[in-house]
């Protein structure tokens, strides 16, 4: 069973989807490490959770003091679970769950940040298809994000991806840090000045 790690909703349960769905929520270990790194940036932040799955990362951000979180997920069953989690954790005022395909573009999301941009963007694209074939969405998603203009000027952009997926900073972004956890990399980017 997954739980919020820390903050105002620390140790509260997070609902998930059946194990036969190809949704691999971020592990508690990676989530703890991620938020140790993000700690100086979270309070008051507008948080964007792309490929949100069941919303684990955005919910953790809200629990730790983010002022708002927007979740984008294209799977209808996952979206229902995000909405259930938002309700159960009493985040209805600060959270918005949206059904969309991230790869169809991101510019439209600026509206949900009140046109101020997102302070933290987390992307956890799926590693594999339902047929267990590898997916390589990371570079395309980073390029879409860089071109969209939806990140705030000092935004922290985070990408979790499989360590076999080749990732470099696209035009407009620079990589500032990389952490390795098992078969995953967690890369940190910022907008080029």
Predicted structure pTM score = 0.95
Q: Is the distance from CB of 5 to CB of 28 less than 8 angstroms?
A: yes
Q: Is the pLDDT of residue 20 over 80?
A: no
Q: Label the pairing between strands 46-50 and 68-73.
A: parallel
User: Which pLDDT value is given to residue 191?
Assistant: 97
Number of residues assigned to the chain: 193
User: Which pLDDT value is given to residue 22?
Assistant: 64
pLDDT tens digits, 62-98: 999 999 999 999 999 999 999 999 999 999 999 999 9
Q: Is the distance from CB of 173 to CB of 191 less than 8 angstroms?
A: yes
pLDDT grade, residue 193 (50/70/90)? Answer: confident
| pLDDT above 90: percentage of residues in the chain | 86
Structural domains in the chain, sorted by start: 2-191 (3.40.50.150)
User: Which pLDDT value is given to residue 127?
Assistant: 82
């Amino acid at each position: 069973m997954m739980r919020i790690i820390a903050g105002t909703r620390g140790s509260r349960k997070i609902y998930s989807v059946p194990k036969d769905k190809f949704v691999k929520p971020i592990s508690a270990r990676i989530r703890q490490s991620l938020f140790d790194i993000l700690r100086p940036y979270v309070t008051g932040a507008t948080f964007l959770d792309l490929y949100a799955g069941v919303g684990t990362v955005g919910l953790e951000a809200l629990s730790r003091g983010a002022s708002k979180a927007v979740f984008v997920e294209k799977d209808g069953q996952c979206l229902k679970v995000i909405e259930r989690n938002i309700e159960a954790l009493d985040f209805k005022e600060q959270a918005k769950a949206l059904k969309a395909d991230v790869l169809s573009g991101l510019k439209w999301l600026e509206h949900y940040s009140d046109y101020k941009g997102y302070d933290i963007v987390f992307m956890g694209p799926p590693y594999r298809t339902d047929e267990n074939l590898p997916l390589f969405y990371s570079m395309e998603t980073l390029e879409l994000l860089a071109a969209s203009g939806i990140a705030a000027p000092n935004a922290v952009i985070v990408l979790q991806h499989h360590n076999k997926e080749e990732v470099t900073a696209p035009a407009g972004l620079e990589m500032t840090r990389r952490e390795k956890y098992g078969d995953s990399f967690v890369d940190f980017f910022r907008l080029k000045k």
